[in-house]
Amino acid sequence: MQIQLKKITVRELTRGYEDNEEGGVRGYDGRLDIRPPYQREFIYDDKKRNAVITTVKRGFPLNVMYWAEREADAEVPYEVLDGQQRTVSICQYVHGDFAYDFQYFHNLTPSEQDEILDYELFVYVCSGTDKEKLDWFRTINIAGERLTEQELRNAVYAGPFVTDAKRYFSKTGCAAYNMGRYLINGSAIRQDFLETALLWKAQSESRPGKKQTIEGYMAQHQHDANASQLWQHFSAVMTWVAATFDIARRKAVMMGVNWGELYDRFHGEVLDKAELDREVARLMVDSEVQKKKGICPFVLTSDEHWLGLRAFPDDIKLEVYEAQGHRCANPLCPRGGEELDFAEMEGDHITPWRDGGRTVRENCQMLCRECNRRKGAK
């Protein structure tokens, strides 16, 4: 990994500046990609844009910017990693796209123009392996508009795969958004849908002792011609969810579930949608169930840990602890009639939740830790 500090003048930066549909946004004699594919296209408002010009005009320092050096044979050798909006503001002003203090750049005297063109920007140029770049990007990703984890990965594994994947997953109103908006948290533009799709795909390819990760998957497929396999997997998961649960009526408990994992486990089984829905409806109104997001995983797996079932609060436990004379409620307890510390005991539902037991005083007994564990294991 190499990191090199360069001083770039505004004159050099803005030379050959262009912003068009096909070519994207270029500067630095066409050698700098100012808006590489992974960057968001957010726009500075006038106030922020003017603040950049004020800083340059007064000769104050702007924060350091970061460029990444691309592979040796890349057509455009550099890309902006951090500093896109500042770069665009400067280029647009010099290009005559907007006026500052009622004056366009061409309205300035030649010496005023030169002062701006001679202003020096500090740029760190980094080059290295993908892994090194990712670590570096994470480290510098501290100021300004933060990049998300997935935006960082898109930067590191940029290529035809990412470009195609973004068509499906990364635009407002994209295909993935339309299918998954009630099931997936976050925003398409910030790459949350793409990240989720990659996570599910990586999970589906994981084997015992051989875990696939998002980075691993992206590294393997970086130079694929397109992302159609990723899309097919994602849409298979979405189709399965729609065939298994009543999304329109149950979406309140369906957002953010790891649907990919459930798909991997259950898509080969014949499931009774009506029966599952009755179960979901019942659990949605059960006040003992505190993790509503766990309802769908629970009705498939029958694993109660998904539900975050209510536990006894301390006041009830203390009351019962006193009433039991500080002894374990199990008559066959190996610690017999011994008096125990409150901290050594746990609140237990006499009738368990699955048999209709509630978290109320009458249904509480205090067991020593060992007895509670043994009862729970049954």
Closer CB to Zn ion, residue 249 or residue 369?
369
Contact flag: residue 365 with Zn ion (CB under 5 A)? no
Contact flag: residue 368 with Zn ion (CB under 5 A)? yes
Q: Which of 244, 330, 363, 365 binds Zn ion (CB under 5 A)?
A: 330
Closer CB to Zn ion, residue 165 or residue 340?
340
- Which residues ranging from 113 to 172 are in contact with Zn ion (CB under 5 A)? none
Considering the complex, what minimum distance in angstroms separates the CB of residue 339 from Zn ion? 12
Q: Which of 11, 271, 333, 374 binds Zn ion (CB under 5 A)?
A: 333
Considering the complex, what minimum distance in angstroms separates the CB of residue 333 from Zn ion? 3
Considering the complex, what minimum distance in angstroms separates the CB of residue 367 from Zn ion? 5
- Candidates 207-215, 297-305, 323-331, 344-352 — which segment interacts with Zn ion by CB under 5 A? 323-331
Contact flag: residue 320 with Zn ion (CB under 5 A)? no
Contact flag: residue 198 with Zn ion (CB under 5 A)? no
What are the Cα distances from residue 71, in Å, to 67, 76, 78, 130, 157? Answer: 13, 9, 9, 10, 12
Q: How many residues bind Zn ion (CB under 5 A)?
A: 5
Closer CB to Zn ion, residue 165 or residue 371?
371
Considering the complex, what minimum distance in angstroms separates the CB of residue 356 from Zn ion? 25
Contact flag: residue 328 with Zn ion (CB under 5 A)? yes
Closer CB to Zn ion, residue 64 or residue 318?
318
Considering the complex, what minimum distance in angstroms separates the CB of residue 370 from Zn ion? 6
Contact flag: residue 371 with Zn ion (CB under 5 A)? yes
Closer CB to Zn ion, residue 65 or residue 368?
368
- Candidates 31-39, 75-83, 255-263, 365-373 — which segment interacts with Zn ion by CB under 5 A? 365-373
Closer CB to Zn ion, residue 110 or residue 337?
337
Closer CB to Zn ion, residue 260 or residue 347?
347
Interaction site with Zn ion (CB under 5 A): 328, 330, 333, 368, 371
